[in-house]
Structure 1
Amino acid sequence: MSEPVCVQAQETLDAAARRLKKENIGALPVCQHDRVIGMITDRDITMRGVADGRNVGEMTVREAMSAEILFCFDDDTTEEAARIMLESHVQRLAVLDRVDKHLTGIVSMTRLSGGASERRPYEVIFYKTFFDHQGHSHHSELMRIAVAQGTKEQAIATATRQFEEMKEVKSWQQLANGYDVISVHVDAQGATVEEREPTSEREARILRRAREIWEREGTPEGRDEEIWALAAGEIDREDHLVE
């Protein structure tokens, strides 16, 4: 394994990128004080910073990191470390001391077996819905959170907790109208395939109802949140009556 190098959660992506270059590594544990809270990779910086047009001198590491930390212990075998990485679809693990859980290093699949970089299996994208002057609905992305392990339901739970913590709200629905889930897998030919799923049928129904209300009320401007709330209330009342 390599020596441990951390980046603090509130540092910028620019600072993280410089540290990755200086250390000639592809991933860094993200720390908040003495606690490891996630992992950020060079791909995270590229895809959630540069490619999304964000200012990497202002965007924080916490906004781009994976929402959880994958690790093994320093007395685990290399086979155990490789198993965790393969099952979790990641290429790097933090290595912790078994006694005090402090970070002692980083181990990579490349060093173990020469493997190539892989995508994380899930990304949860929180969005706000608005309507343009022609009545077409659009999603404005609020935050994208990568999750490296677990089922889709567990990934959504992890991402919503992260979103609420970072935005300092009790419920993600206070700021977002919904979320999409991008799942990543490798097909039989070895190609990486992405599949994007909307939040749920409820959000799809609310979107259709919001369009109806918007048109019924004369296509008003600046009332997106109000109309969404009206549509959500109607759908939830209808579901309650059915139950």
Structure 2
Amino acid sequence: MTQLVRDLMTTDLVSLPPDAPVRQAAQAMRQQDVGAVLVVEDGQLRGIVTDRDIVVRGVADFDDLAACALGDVCSDQLLTVAPDDAADAAIARMREAAVRRIPVVENDRPVGVLSLGDAAMERDPDSALAEISSEEANT
């Protein structure tokens, strides 16, 4: 039986609007122990910002990070999947695009996030990625 994205995705979404300060996203990531925040406006997915985006596009480019909003640093050319897509196909697309997380969208609204770490914990729990992904945060 084909495993679906919905079987592997997390539904505990962390989302903020595009005008939210980058610091708020970083604090949410720390509090929720996640590596990405969905950028949502009027219920519609507008982008995704990762911890790496904050460093590479925020810290590296803005002298005053307090003036930096999520819309300034998020990835807005999104690769998305649907909950009923085959998990293998979604993971293959993630590999091709070299991304670790992908928003799951249904009826133009975000309903989850699929991460390689989540997939590894489900499919290969003894792998290094699964072990790292299941560890407590080191905050």
TM-score normalized by structure 2? 0.74
Indicate the SS of the match to 1:57: helix
Q: Which has the higher strand share?
A: 1
Per the alignment, residue 81 of structure 2 pairs with 72
Distance 1:15 1:26 in 2: 13
Q: CA deviation at 1:77?
A: 2.1
The answer to whether the aligner puts 1:14 opposite 2:23 as a matched pair is yes
**Identity within the alignment, %:** 26
Per the alignment, residue 208 of structure 1 pairs with none
Bigger relative contact order, structure 1 or 2 (CA pairs below 8 A, ≥6 apart): 2
**1:13-32 deviations in Å (ceiling 9; x for gaps):** 01111111111111111112
Distance 2:53 2:45 in 1: 17
Out of 64, 74, 91, the residue aligned to residue 82 of structure 1 is 91
Q: Which amino acid aligns with 1:78?
A: A
User: CA RMSD for the aligned pairs?
Assistant: 1.8
Distance 2:63 2:82 in 1: 35
**1:161-218 deviations in Å (ceiling 9; x for gaps):** xxxxxxxxxxxxxxxxxxxxxxxxxxxxxxxxxxxxxxxxxxxxxxxxxxxxxxxxxx
**1:137-176 deviations in Å (ceiling 9; x for gaps):** xxxxxxxxxxxxxxxxxxxxxxxxxxxxxxxxxxxxxxxx
Please list every run of 5 or more consecutive structure 1 residues that lacks an aligned counterpart in the other structure.
117-243
The answer to whether the aligner puts 1:30 opposite 2:23 as a matched pair is no
Distance 2:45 2:62 in 1: 28
What does residue range 64-213 of structure 1 map to in structure 2 within 5 Å?
Answer: 64-97=73-106, 100-113=107-120, 114=129
Q: CA deviation at 1:53?
A: 4.7
Indicate the SS of the match to 2:46: strand
Please list every run of 5 or more consecutive structure 2 residues that lacks an aligned counterpart in the other structure.
1-8, 121-128, 133-139
Are residues 109 and 85 of structure 1, via their aligned partners in 2, closer, same or farther at CA, if it must alter by over 3 Å? same
Q: CA deviation at 1:56?
A: 2.4
